[in-house]
Structure 1
Amino acid sequence: MSDRVQKIVAELPELGDVTGVWRTADRCLAEGDNVFLADLGLALAAAGRSDGGRSWQYSSVLDHVLRSLAVTPGPGNVAQALRLISSADGAGAAAREFSRYAASLLASGQPAEDLSVVFTGKAPEELRACLVHELVLRGVDVERVPGIAGWATSPHWRHHPLGTLPLTLSELEGASDLLSYSARGSSHPMPYGPSRDRRAKVAAAAHAPSAEDTTTPAAAGLIGAAVADWVEKSNGRVEARVFGLAAPLEAVSVPGALPALGLECLRGAGRKTAVTVAACPPDQAWRVLFAAASTGGAYHHGARGAYGRLAAWRSLAGLCGAAGTDPVEEVEARVRECAWYDFEAGTPWFERVAWDIGLVTVCSERRRLAVLAATDTD
């Protein structure tokens, strides 16, 4: 550890504002001294482990250093970021989450060709797996990028959870909203929420067939995969249900059918609290589910792009009646056979802040209806 790095690390816990250290890191990177940034990051990571995470200053500057190296194109920046990322390699949940984050940063800021070092040098396998699909989501043909293609097409990682995802985007995925990063922060769109992008309401008919709740724990878990973090790591609620219908359900009857299903999210709906239902193209459903999974709810950053992609496909599978193990191509075919709707209601169940989702599918034979409702608040 150089004297300069040692001095910064020693003085950090006494600082109430670390933006001056950020500026020092920024100047060094602008001058091409990415080795100094990586050395500082490694020292900060070690200090944070010794400190037991008590000093927020270590994690704040470490995050800035990682972001700066990962999102700034330039000679050697990826290699130095990789030094820092590889130091956190391990089998625990924290190490896996760090790799997901790092992969999202790298894919958002670096040319694909510069990322080949991740696949040819020393790097965590989780980082490589996530980076492949972060690049796929950004339209990169990973099977044609030297250094990446060999690893991405190798059968050795097919046992990995992400190994079941295709290396090209489907038509549904063309509307994916991706996180955007800079050294100072990140941003992302939220394609859901109260009265967001509403379409023409479907007219309600007087009659809807009777329905039987056929939800199983497995089906509920599959349908809710994209919003699992909203409950587990934030303040969210999720309702995932499946119903068998006594007769085929016509499109005009969907608004009338929903309030009769006994959904918790629609408890209290009536004349004064209407349920608004609108036709929803499948690619919009994908967009909502992917954003929910990849960016998370009010108090969690989500699964990032790669695992967000996996979770979105799992939710789509559950909603259209496919199995979670079915290939994406088969799931997409079933998705397109279903009729899709989104809905909202001003009931007490929905927080109506920013994180509200209501999706309904009616399968091709019109005898199965599935619902995913989710809400979260800060």
Structure 2
Amino acid sequence: MASGQPDHFEQIHQWAEAGDVVSIGMLAHEFTLRERGEECSTEISFARERLATIPGLDAIAQVLSLLESAEPAEVRFLAAALARHQNAGDLVAGLFGRATVPSHTHELKACLLHELVLEGVRVEGFSEILEFGDLLARQDHPLGDLPLRRLPVEVLFKKPVYLSDAPSGERIYQQPSFSGCTLVKLHDPSAEESIKKLLGETAAETFGKISADIFKASRFVGRENISGAIKGLSLPYVRRSQGDPFLISPEVALRLLFALAASQQYGAYGRLSVWESIRGFVGAAPGRGICDLAEMVESSQWYQCIPKSSWSCDEGKALVLIAVRPDGHTIAALGATRRA
């Protein structure tokens, strides 16, 4: 920045700390009238993001007035910020309950609805939000099929969520070999692609590697033989020297998936990506609703493994998650890395 030029970012930060919504809004609207390219766009984005964190109807109104130029990823970020920092009643009064709002606010409202659900807000207490949720379903919006309440198996979908380096849960140590059982890799591109939907639209920017594999065992697979079964799969992303898996709960399994999915997609679309991925994990037929999927999740066995260092060390965080489907014979495996 040239000497003598104002530091607009610092000025916006100071105004935000003081709750000066008017000054931030005036400066941001001044930027919209200038032709300064990327620099001006970045300043407007910063102003929007700081306004979203200031509680109150005035800040909500300023965010909406500056929303039209926001990119889709920022709209998702703003929805998450508004859900976290604003009162639900103010969001209803300033957005959901308004008779007329600009058409470009539709996607913000869609994301915001499910960000509120993830924040634990009982949206069923607001008729305006429920009506909008019904509208999304009728429009076949991507988020329209998500429940308007957090399901019991989603109880650990708390934000922010982080992907830990160390697996949690009960470690299942080496058992007798899996002799006498055959493990066959299935060609199931539909399930594999469904599992990979965890990445959403951000694969290139966020994930270094991803692999999904489906296997069929001739014997029932349970905690008494899972360690031998996993070693028999020879998965390229599992560290064989520490291949004994950790038994985890369905809630922890979904939290791990959500930690990956929400890292760039934020809560609403991260939640959607988890359930699209789960469809492949549990082998659900097309058309099965999310509540049905939740039951299948709870009927499956879930294990976390230590990733192979040579597979993930250059990429940052990694996750190896294995599900034994309710039939007890089908194993679905995911290996994914996220750049640090």
**Into which bin does the TM-score normalised by the smaller protein fall?**
0.7 to 0.9
Q: 2:177 aligns with which of 195, 206, 211?
A: 206
Give the Cα separation in 1 of the matches to 2:210 and 2:187.
14
Alignment of 1:1-378 (within 5 A): 14=2, 20-29=7-16, 33-45=20-32, 47=34, 50-53=35-38, 55=39, 58-85=40-67, 87-88=68-69, 95-116=71-92, 117-119=94-96, 120=98, 121-123=100-102, 124-145=105-126, 147-154=128-135, 157-178=138-159, 188-193=160-165, 195-197=166-168, 199-207=170-178, 209-228=181-200, 231-234=203-206, 236-266=208-238, 269-270=239-240, 273-295=241-263, 302-323=264-285, 325-351=287-313, 354-378=316-340
Is contact 1:143-1:152 (8 Å) kept? no
Report the AA paired with residue 61 of structure 1: E
Report the AA paired with residue 62 of structure 1: I
Report the AA paired with residue 210 of structure 2: V
User: How much has 1:156 moved relative to structure 2?
Assistant: 6.2
Is contact 1:230-1:376 (8 Å) kept? no
Report the AA paired with residue 114 of structure 1: D
Give the Cα separation in 1 of the matches to 2:253 and 2:330.
18
Is contact 2:167-2:306 (8 Å) kept? no
Report the AA paired with residue 101 of structure 2: K
Cα distance, 1:31–1:344 mapped onto 2, change above 3 Å: closer
Is contact 1:70-1:106 (8 Å) kept? yes
Give the Cα separation in 2 of the matches to 1:164 and 1:156.
6
Is contact 1:360-1:370 (8 Å) kept? yes
Cα distance, 1:350–1:28 mapped onto 2, change above 3 Å: closer
Give the Cα separation in 2 of the matches to 1:292 and 1:125.
26
Aligned length: 334
Report the AA paired with residue 321 of structure 2: L
Is contact 1:237-1:374 (8 Å) kept? yes
User: How much has 1:239 moved relative to structure 2?
Assistant: 1.0
Is contact 1:280-1:341 (8 Å) kept? yes
Give the Cα separation in 1 of the matches to 2:137 and 2:236.
45
Residue by residue over 1:154-177, the C-alpha shift from the partner in whole angstroms, topping out at 9 and shown as x without a partner, is 466441010000101100111113
Is contact 1:239-1:264 (8 Å) kept? no
Is contact 1:234-1:376 (8 Å) kept? yes
Cα distance, 1:359–1:147 mapped onto 2, change above 3 Å: same
Give the Cα separation in 2 of the matches to 1:250 and 1:150.
45
Give the Cα separation in 1 of the matches to 2:207 and 2:111.
27
User: How much has 1:52 moved relative to structure 2?
Assistant: 4.3
User: How much has 1:29 moved relative to structure 2?
Assistant: 4.8
Give the Cα separation in 2 of the matches to 1:230 and 1:359.
20
User: How much has 1:310 moved relative to structure 2?
Assistant: 0.4
Is contact 2:56-2:87 (8 Å) kept? no
SS of the residue 1:357 aligns to: strand
Give the Cα separation in 2 of the matches to 1:201 and 1:250.
10
Residue by residue over 1:9-54, the C-alpha shift from the partner in whole angstroms, topping out at 9 and shown as x without a partner, is xxxx647997x4234334545666523322322343554xx4442x
Is contact 2:282-2:325 (8 Å) kept? yes
Cα distance, 1:343–1:14 mapped onto 2, change above 3 Å: same
Report the AA paired with residue 125 of structure 1: H
Structure 1: stretches of 5+ with no match in the other structure:
1-12, 90-94, 179-187, 296-301
SS of the residue 1:307 aligns to: helix
Report the AA paired with residue 322 of structure 1: A
Is contact 1:355-1:376 (8 Å) kept? yes
User: How much has 1:105 moved relative to structure 2?
Assistant: 1.2
User: How much has 1:99 moved relative to structure 2?
Assistant: 1.8
Is contact 2:282-2:326 (8 Å) kept? no
User: How much has 1:306 moved relative to structure 2?
Assistant: 0.4
Structure 2: stretches of 5+ with no match in the other structure:
none
Give the Cα separation in 1 of the matches to 2:87 and 2:73.
23
